[in-house]
Amino acid sequence: MKIAVCVKHVPEGSSKIDPSSKRLDRSGEGALNHFDANAVEEALRLKGDSDSEVVVVSLGPAKAADSLRKALAMGADRAVLVSDDAAAGSDLVATSRLLAKALERESADLVLFGQQASDADGAVLWAAVAERLQRPVISQAAEVTLDGGTLRAKRQTEHGYDTIEAPLPAVVAVSDAINEPRYPSLKGIMGAKKKPFDTLSLGDLGVDASEAGEAGSKTSVAALNDPPSRGDARKIEDDGNAAQAILDFLAEKRLV
Amino acid sequence: MSILVLLEQHGNELQKGSLGVLTKAATLGDGDVAAVIVGENARALATEAGTFGAAKVFVAESDALQQPLPQPRVDVLAKVIEENGYETVMLANSVLAADVAAGLAARLDAGLNWDLVDITSDFTGKRPALQDSVFVDVGWTSTPRIALFRAGSFDATATAGGEPEVVEVSAELQPHSTAATIVAQEEEQSSGPSIEDADIVVAGGRGLGAPENFSLAEELAKALGGAVGATRAVVDAGWYPYSAQIGQTGKVVAPKLYVALGISGAIQHKVGMQSSNVIISINKDANAPIFEFSDLGVVGDVHEIVPKLTELIKQRKG
């Protein structure tokens, strides 16, 4: 079987938003979104020593190749990078369209996502991609098992756990509690350089530039503002009287 | 300015977060504000939606809609929107609602803005970004607009709204929407007051040092009249039940007072409590991120401070 894992290359360290484009500044160093490492790990675990194929797929700038190489070094078999200047600034509607097009070319039995992007805090993309691929979707999976053509996942919700079954092909977003991602070995890092790596443009996907990037998006960013301050935030060191200081604070706020 | 709000229910109760979003919608919509309730007890819950500002309530509760799965809900919402032309769809974030919102965005090619904490009457969304260091004004370039709000963004306030018009919806479900099935459910029952409804929450993290030290949090919560919460780290370590977990993969709370004991303030936890009115934190690490969003941060040892504080509160309440 074939397992596709969607991964994102995110800025490393403290991110900032470029005030002119109002987009996240992606000019600095980046890394594999750590939540996606859980999805790569799960794919490798499901593959085990079978002859299944794990293909990692990303939409991003040319530098996103670094994150795909890391996934290859962890053990993925092949990488696909969708990279095109006209795709920059894609929102959910446009991103899901491009990723779904790339995934259609793969016809994977299982598509995996991590639980969120650490840069934009997005935690919804899988559901949009599943809708475009017309496949069942399960998110927040804390456990995934495969039994022939049936997938079984344990979804963690606000109320407890649901065990959900779906026939393959399916889309699953795994939670970061599902596993501990492995570190790439030196052999893995060396081997990653020789693994198949395709870079696709919008043209390769058969998507018109008007359906990607800002042109293909339905949301916009109007302004960047400072966050509202927490007013008179205070920080004290305990000198033996901290309990009294907290009580006074509670009294002042009329909370006791 | 027509607005549709997805109300989420659990068992026999409409969830407070989604009622908060409905309360907000009622202040925006020129009266054309409707709610949609899908699944278990949908019809029975419709009247309550009226008291939170819905003039009309769409209900769908066929057998295929009983389980809390996202994709059949996309079918129902898409039908209601296509037939009634709602311009804006608002949802309160949850594991279920996030998947509904994104599925609907793809189905309708509609813009989705998520993690919003507010929206203006001209439909500019307010979205904190980059660990809340920037507040971004976001918009939509076409309708329908889909807005997914961070839990706890709005208070649910019942008004003197009348009996809503109840409209039955029967949507044809797509084959891929009904492919997934819940085969087992494990409900975690919490003891004591529900942390989502409590006005005061006292939460403990790794800094408590050992599972038995959760009694510090329990005693303080009792003195204050609040509920006890926990971080994912201590739940994973088996110190406290999952039902008390606050954060991204647990409950999202927005009490009047949040007291964080020995909690570092990792983003996973922060998203579950940052909308609290007043945050007090005690941590021995002066550089803990929790201090960046605390109203009162105390650098010190929870084991020394908390028993004294509990005693002082008891004396005061006398």
Residue A121 belongs to a domain with what CATH number?
3.40.50.620
Q: Name which of A6, A93, A234 to mutate to probe chain B: the one with the most chain B Cβ atoms within 10 A of its Cβ.
A: A93
Contacts of A247 in chain B (CB under 8 A): 309, 312-313, 316
Q: Which residue has the higher pLDDT, B179 or B188?
A: B179
How many folded domains does chain A comprise? 1
| pLDDT for position B188 | 66
Show the tokens assigned to A110. Answer: 């299982």
- pLDDT tens, residue by residue, B50-91: 999 999 999 999 999 999 999 999 999 999 999 999 999 999
Give per-residue pLDDT as tens, B252-282.
888 999 999 999 998 879 888 988 999 999 9
Mutation pick from A34, A101, A162 vs chain B, by most beta carbons of B within 10 Å, is A162
B127 pLDDT exceeds 60?
yes
Reply yes or no on whether the pLDDT at B29 is more than 90: no
Per the DSSP assignment, residues forming a β-bridge with A144 are: A153
Name every chain A residue with its beta carbon within 8 A of the beta carbon of B256: 255
Mean pLDDT of B91-105: 96
The three-class DSSP label of residue A92 is: helix
Q: Is the pLDDT of residue B191 over 70?
A: no
The answer to whether the Cβ–Cβ distance between A136 and B308 falls below 8 Å is: no
Q: What angle do CA B60, B66, B67 make, to 5 degrees?
A: 130
Model pLDDT, residue B222: 94
Q: Tell whether domain B200-317 is in CATH 3.40.50.1220.
A: yes
Nearest to A226 by CA among B121, B132, B120: B132
State residue A80 phi and psi, 5-degree precision. -130, 120
Alpha helices of B160-266 — where are they, by DSSP H?
214-224, 232-236
Helix, coil or strand: residue A215:
coil
Q: Which residues of A touch B112 (CB under 8 A)?
A: 91-93, 124, 128, 218-219
Handedness of CA B75, B81, B83, B84 (dihedral sign): positive
Question: Would you call B278 an interface residue with chain A, using a CB distance cutoff of 8 Å?
Answer: yes
Residue A186 lies in a domain: yes
- Measured at the alpha carbon of residue A42, what is the angle toward residues A38 and A45, in degrees to the nearest 5? 140
User: How do the domains of chain B map onto residue ranges?
Assistant: 3-178, 200-317
Structural domain boundaries enclosing A17: 2-211
Residues of A within 8 A of B186 (CB-CB) are 160-162
Instruction: Give CA–CA dist A156/A163, Å, rounded.
Output: 9
- Residue B144, preceding peptide bond in cis (omega within 30° of 0): yes
Task: Compare CB distances from B180 to A161, A166, A231 and report the shortest one's residue.
Answer: A166
Tell me if A218 is assigned to some domain.
no
Q: Report, as an integer, the average pLDDT of B128-142.
A: 87
For residue range A146-205, what is the model confidence (pLDDT) as tens digits? 999 999 999 988 888 999 999 999 999 999 889 999 999 999 999 999 999 999 999 999
Instruction: Provide the 3-class DSSP secondary structure of residue A166.
Output: strand
- pLDDT number for residue B305: 97
Closest to B57 measured CA to CA, from B72, B40, B44? B44
B185–A247: do the CB atoms touch at under 8 Å? no
Give the integer Cα–Cα distance in Å for A165 and A138.
9
| Mean pLDDT along residues A213-232 | 86
Answer for the pair A174, A144: CB distance below 8 angstroms, yes or no. Answer: yes
Task: Look up residue A158 and give its amino acid.
Answer: E
Confidence of residue B246 (pLDDT cuts 50, 70, 90): very high
State whether residue B302 sits within 8 Å of chain A by CB: no
What is the pLDDT of chain B when averaged over all its residues?
92
A237: closest chain B residue by CA: B299
Burial of B220 (0-12, 13-18, 19+ CB in 10 A): buried
Specify the DSSP class assigned to residue A228. P
pLDDT given at position B159: 81
Segments in B60-207 forming alpha helices (H):
70-84, 95-108
- What is d(CA A189, CA A255) in angstroms, rounded to the nearest whole number? 56
| Residue B267 confidence (pLDDT) | 80
Matching CATH topology for B3-178 and B200-317? yes
Enter the DSSP assignment of B307. H
Q: Is the pLDDT of residue B313 over 70?
A: yes
Interchain CB distance below 8 Å, A218 and B141:
yes
Q: Is the ipTM of this complex over 0.85?
A: yes
| Within-domain flag for A236 | no
- A169: in domain: yes
Distance CA A54, CA A41 (A): 10
pLDDT of residue B186: 87
Residue A158 touches partner B, C-beta closer than 8 Å: yes
The mean pLDDT of A59-68, rounded to a whole number, is 96
Average pLDDT for B31-45: 94
Q: In this structure, are strands B134-140 and A219-225 parallel, antiparallel, or unpaired?
A: antiparallel
Q: Which one, of B235, B222, B220, B255, lies nearest residue B188 by Cα? A: B235
Best mutation target among B67, B87, B130, B145 (most A Cβ atoms within 10 Å) is B130
Enumerate the residues of chain A whose CB falls inside 8 A of the CB of residue B110. Answer: 93, 218
Decide if B318 touches A, using CB distance below 8 A: no
| A48 has a pLDDT exceeding 80 | yes
Other beta carbons within 10 Å of B304? 15
Nearest neighbour of A136 by CB, restricted to B141, B148, B176 = B176
Q: What is the DSSP string of B33-78?
A: EEEEEESTTHHHHHHHHHHTT-SEEEEE--GGGSS--HHHHHHHHH
Q: In chain A, what residues touch B111 (CB-CB under 8 Å)?
A: 91-93, 217-219
Q: Where are the alpha helices (DSSP H) in A77-152?
A: 92-106, 125-133
Q: Which of A224, A159, A82, A98 is CA-nearest to residue B138? A: A224
Its CATH class, for the domain covering B3-178, is: alpha beta
More confident residue, A21 or B154: B154
Q: Is A164 on the interface with B (CB under 8 A)?
A: yes
